[in-house]
Structure 1
Amino acid sequence: MTVANGPHRADNSAGTMPEAMTPVGARTARTAWSITFLVMILQTVNFADKAVLGIVARPLSEDLGLSNADIGLLGSVFYVLFVVTGLLGGFIADRVKIVWVLLVMALLWSLVQIPILLVGTFGALLVSRVLLGAAEGPAASLVNVAVFGWFPKKERGLPSAVVSSGSSLAKILMAPALTLIVAAYGWRAAFITMMIIGAVWAAVWLVVGKDGPYSVNSARERAKTGDTDTVTRVSILRIAALPTFWGGVLGMFAVYGMVAVVLTWLPSYFEEGLGYTRINSGLLFALPSVTGMTAMLLGSFVTDRLAGRGTTVRVSRGLVTVVALVLCGVCLAVIPFVTESWIAVALVVTGYGVGVATLPLMFVAVSYISPDRQVASTLGVFVALFQASGILAPWLTGYLVDAAPTPADGYTSAFQILGVVAIVGAVVMFLTIDPERDRARIAAIDPLTNADGSAEDEELYAATHGEESGRTREGS
């Protein structure tokens, strides 16, 4: 790529583009957001693959004679290998171009739907959901890694929220469409649709996907070119021992348990628990995601602005997450005490929305404490650990529904448990989250990573825009 020389950034501390932006810089910015929106579509496919089970749960159980516990088992087995591959995927992405990793994942998502189409039994569903979980395990971390490669640290909140909003779009746009497809053509048609969409995305990504200037691979290639030994590594165990890391895991454990339950059971709750029709339940499935996407985009935009103005990461990412998690927990915990169905819907919608808004904030906080060379593996381990709640939560919900006097009692008990766990997680996060402190601890281990993380961004920015850069600290 031909590089145009341009002036240095006017404000290095904000990590922004130079005031007199070069043509290369403008083109890079456009490419960055194009890649971000394409990765957001992949995240939409990812969550639609998860949500499809909730959409077909009732017709599937009627067709195959399945109990609520059986449906819950299908939801839970998805996460068995999901956690394992989530751990491994990040370490692979530290060493392989992220563009190829995402391509392989998307193709696998389509291929593992085949057992359902060929056999269509409960056993085939179990096999397919296990394999799909294995293929999607690294997705939550690696979609963020892919877009983080195009943005400096202090500008990653909004891109992460845009990508994470794909989970909301899956329920706002795709869930209603899949509901209508199932109503017209049967539950197998939903899986065929997802197989086709995944294959189409992979074909587009093969043509336009690329790594960004801030990616691990870019840093590694520059190190080789310069014949320097700048790619050092810090033990993942040392990173995981930091309070910001494990406190974040515990807080997000509660959030993802809620996500897994909503994806598996929310349409059934609306139908069995609140008395809505099957089609209306499928359409209402989109409502929590409307608040979720709004909260993610607004919250991340505001916290990016706060970070740019010098607010600490503990406040802009950590404490905002704590407040949102408390609100989420309260909304879910009081559901058993309401009698009006519309109030229950409103509480689920609000609780889910503010809860999922914490995910991109914590992705940014954890990436902040990680050396850039290990963002993929650090986020991979972080996500795999908190997503382990997906193994238990859907099955437990199905068990509670079968054991309760009425389905409504079982569903509301499950939501109440999730709410209490979320409040406990918020307290833990309030006591542990401090990214600046923990990044300084990493800096003591890896002297090439300074305490505020600006040096790596400065070097990568300069390399991309044809500038020389000193290893200066922000604000020094």
Structure 2
Amino acid sequence: MALPDDTERADDPADGGRRVAPAVSAPTARTAWSITFLVMILQTINFADKAVLGIVARPLSEDLGLSNADIGLLGSAFYVLFVITGLVGGFIADRVRIVWVLLALALLWSLVQIPVLLVGTFTALIVSRVLLGAAEGPAGALNNVAVFGWFPKSKRGLPSAVVSSGTSLSKILMAPALTVIVAAYGWKAAFWTLMIVGLVWAAVWLVVGKDGPYSVSSARQVARSGAPDGNVTRVSFLRIAALPTFWGGVLGMFAIYGMVAVILTWLPSYFEQGLGFSRVDSGLLFALPSVTGMASMLLVSFITDRLAGRGMTVRVSRGMVSVVALFACGVMLASIPLVHSAWLAVFLVVAGYGAGVASYPLMNVAVAHISPERQVASTLGVFTALFSTSGILAPWLTGHLVDAATTPAQGYTTAFQIFGVVAIIGAVVMALTVDPERDRARIAAIDTLTSADDRS
């Protein structure tokens, strides 16, 4: 696959008027997509580390005598430091080459599995999940930053979707494989597998990983050289965070991320306890939402890239499409308590998840659009960290709802209904706030005033 255009021409007030991006040669295009697919594999490992808890939840609870609330606590523990390191990681990546940041994260993911493998107690699991969350906190944003460095702004939707599809591949490919491994060798074998896979990826990345021509490090080098490139230089991050596109996007993605965290932690248990499927079948069904999720992310992002290339505004091609996807997800999840067929409930979860996650790559592109190039890493890092806070509450809340309900099925469906309503509210908020062109112009105006003050 090659980049659609060799150049990008942009009439953007925040970029200082009309400019031409560097030409992209065929070898560079091949490298760009090679890096993209390698980062997608890292994203696959990232979400497999999250999803493994859902896969081992039942054998783990039986082996260690854990309640549903305990499993929910393990799911939520992952996000305790996840949010903090997500906030910090982006600012580090503004100053350190992204290739080294991703290498360090992959190594940390692998090493923090050791407490589980050596001890295997509930306390060790808590410690390991907290440390794993800390290591993976910056990953979602920085994986996109690494790929954005190889593509101009108008072509970033599809690459972002390819990276995000790693979340789906983790459940389509790795979840069934881990399910079989757990059935054959026990729940610890899943953690061994993930540690080894992470180390192998790190070794490959050490050899082939590199920063792209549109990367944060490239923008930083241009700024240091003093050569004018027409870009906004740097503004206070608080100015960016105050823009409606940023905080409206945070609220919308907060709504959907809680649902994703619950799916990762509880979906196999819901299929087994709530809908009556066998343990192996539940592990295999765990992949179905990811099939629709990957298909919707790739298709919607490809279409919106084409629309953006033909002049459609970022507000419509990224923002409003995300609104529709999030609203559809909310309606389907909120409808689950109203159905009485197990397969219809599976359909609503699968289709709802697929619709909702299509908004992820689009909102990453929309938020990156309002940020100066030198601050894309920190902007996306904070953006991801803030909406990820819903992952702290959602799995724990679901566990308590299941324990408190008359039947497990009732507890799960109540949880899905709550997250569906929250998703609908998030879609409405995004419809009223997300406008990347307007907010990018505001950033340009701030930079212009700052430059004028410096000259005076």
| TM norm. shorter chain > 0.5 | yes
Provide closer, same or farther for how the CA distance between residues 119 and 58 of structure 1 changes in structure 2, counting only shifts above 3 A: same
Q: 2:259 corresponds to which residue?
A: 258
Aligned counterparts of 1:409 and 1:448: Cα–Cα separation in 2: 57
What corresponds to 1:156 in structure 2? 156
User: Which residue does 1:27 correspond to in 2?
Assistant: 27
Shift, 1:227, TM fit: 6.3
Residue aligning to 2:129:
129
Deviation digits for residues 221-257 of structure 1 (CA, Å, limit 9, x no counterpart): 2333456798832111111110010000000001100
Cα separation, 1, equivalents of 2:142 and 2:116? 27
Distance 1:40 1:322 in 2: 25
- CA separation in 2, counterparts of 1:320 and 1:226? 39
Report the Cα offset of residue 92 of structure 1.
0.1
The aligned counterpart of 1:61 is: 61
Is 1:188 aligned with 2:188? yes
Query: 1:312 maps to which residue?
Result: 313
The residue that corresponds to 1:391 in the other structure is 392
Question: Using the alignment, how far apart are the partners of 1:301 and 1:11 within structure 2?
Answer: 17
Report the CA distance between 1:332 and its aligned residue: 0.2
Q: What is the distance in 1 between the residues matched to 2:232 and 2:111?
A: 36
Q: What does residue 438 of structure 2 align with?
A: 437
Cα distance in 2 between the residues matched to 1:153 and 1:350: 29
Q: Deviations over 1:275-309 (max 9, x none)?
A: 00000000000000000000000000000011001
Partner of 1:458: none
SS in 1 for 2:324: helix
Task: Indicate the residue corresponding to 2:246 in structure 1.
Answer: 245
Tell me, in whole angstroms, the C-alpha distance in 2 between the residues paired with 1:57 and 1:14: 52
Partner of 2:279: 278
242-251 or 227-236: bigger deviation: 227-236
Letter matched to residue 107 of structure 1: L
AA aligned opposite 2:275: L
The residue correspondences of 1:2-21 to structure 2 (distance < 5 A) are 12-13=9-10
**What is residue 295 of structure 1 aligned with on the other side?**
296
CA distance in 1 between partners of 2:252 and 2:162 (Å): 21
1 CA distance for matches of 2:6 and 2:308?
17
Correspondence for 1:340: 341
In 2: Cα distance, 1:363 partner to 1:224 partner: 27
**Taking structure 1 as reference, are residues 11 and 360 closer, same or farther at Cα in structure 2, changes over 3 Å only?**
closer
Q: How big is the shift at 1:31? A: 0.4
Contact 1:37–1:163 (8 Å) recurs in 2: yes
The equivalences for 1:75-474 within 5 A come to 75-226=75-226, 232-447=233-448
Q: In the alignment, is the contact (CA less than 8 A) between 2:87 and 2:378 conserved in 1?
A: yes
- Letter matched to residue 109 of structure 1: W
Cα distance in 2, alignment partners of residues 11 and 358 from structure 1: 24
Distance 1:189 1:235 in 2: 47
Identity percentage of aligned residues: 80
- C-alpha change, 1:115 and 1:319, in structure 2 (3 Å) is same
User: Could you tell me how far 1:445 is from its partner in structure 2?
Assistant: 1.1
Question: Cα deviation per residue 1:384-416 (whole Å; 9 max; x = unaligned)?
Answer: 000000000000000000000000000000000
Unpaired stretches in structure 1, ≥5 consecutive residues = 1-7, 450-476
CA distance in 1, matches of 2:240, 2:223: 23
- Matches of 1:373 and 1:221 in 2, distance apart? 10
Q: Deviations over 1:171-198 (max 9, x none)?
A: 0000000000000000000000000000
The CA deviation at 1:219 is 1.6
Q: Would you say the 8 A contact 2:53–2:264 is kept in 1? A: yes
* TM score, norm. by length of structure 2: 0.93
> In the TM superposition, what is the alpha-carbon distance from 1:82 to its structure 2 partner?
0.1
CA distance in 2, matches of 1:362, 1:13: 20
Equivalent-residue separation in structure 2 for 1:222 and 1:241 (angstroms): 27
CA distance in 2, matches of 1:104, 1:397: 33
SS in 1 for 2:25: helix
Which residue identity does 1:268 align to in structure 2? Answer: S
Structure 2 CA distance, aligned partners of 1:279 and 1:235? 51
What letter corresponds to residue 43 of structure 2 in structure 1? Answer: Q
- Calculate the aligned-residue CA RMSD, in Å: 2.1
Q: In structure 2, what residue type is equivalent to 1:282?
A: G
Amino acid in the other structure paired with 1:447: T
Contact preservation (8 Å) 2:334, 2:419: yes
TM-score (norm: length of structure 1): 0.90
- Aligned-partner Cα distance in 2 for 1:10–1:138: 31
Could you tell me which amino acid in structure 1 is paired with residue 62 of structure 2? E
Distance 1:172 1:228 in 2: 46
Could you tell me whether the CA contact under 8 Å between 1:48 and 1:175 is conserved in 2?
Answer: yes
Structure 1 match to 2:454: none
Name the residue aligned to 2:453.
none
Question: Structure 1 pair 9/39, CA: closer, same or farther in 2 (3 Å)?
Answer: closer
The 1:231–1:274 alpha-carbon spacing in structure 2 relative to 1, beyond 3 Å, is same
Find runs of 4+ consecutive structure 1 residues off by over 4 angstroms: 8-11, 226-231
2:49 alignment partner AA: D
SS of aligned partner of 1:446: helix
Mapped to 2, the partners of 1:298 and 1:260 lie a distance apart of 23
> Do 2:168 and 2:291's aligned partners in 1 also have CA atoms closer than 8 Å?
yes
Match for 1:82: what amino acid? F
Cα distance change on mapping 1:348 and 1:10 into 2, 3 Å: closer
The total of aligned residue pairs comes to 440
Please tell me whether the aligned partners of residues 323 and 431 of structure 2 are also in contact (alpha carbons under 8 angstroms): yes
- What's the offset of the Cα at 1:123? 0.2
Distance 1:445 1:276 in 2: 57
Mark the CA change 1:433 to 1:275 in structure 2 (over 3 Å): closer, same or farther.
same
Residues in 1 aligned to 2:176 and 2:444: alpha-carbon distance in whole angstroms: 48
Q: Is the 8 A contact 1:168 1:289 kept in 2?
A: yes
> CA offset at residue 417 of structure 1?
0.2
AA paired with 2:430? M
What is the alpha-carbon distance in structure 1 between the residues aligned to residue 292 and residue 206 of structure 2?
33
Look up the SS of the partner of 1:34 in the other structure. helix
> How many Å separate the matches in 2 of 1:217 and 1:386?
26
Give, in angstroms, the shift of residue 10 of structure 1.
7.0
SS of the equivalent of 1:311 reads coil
SS at match of 1:405: coil
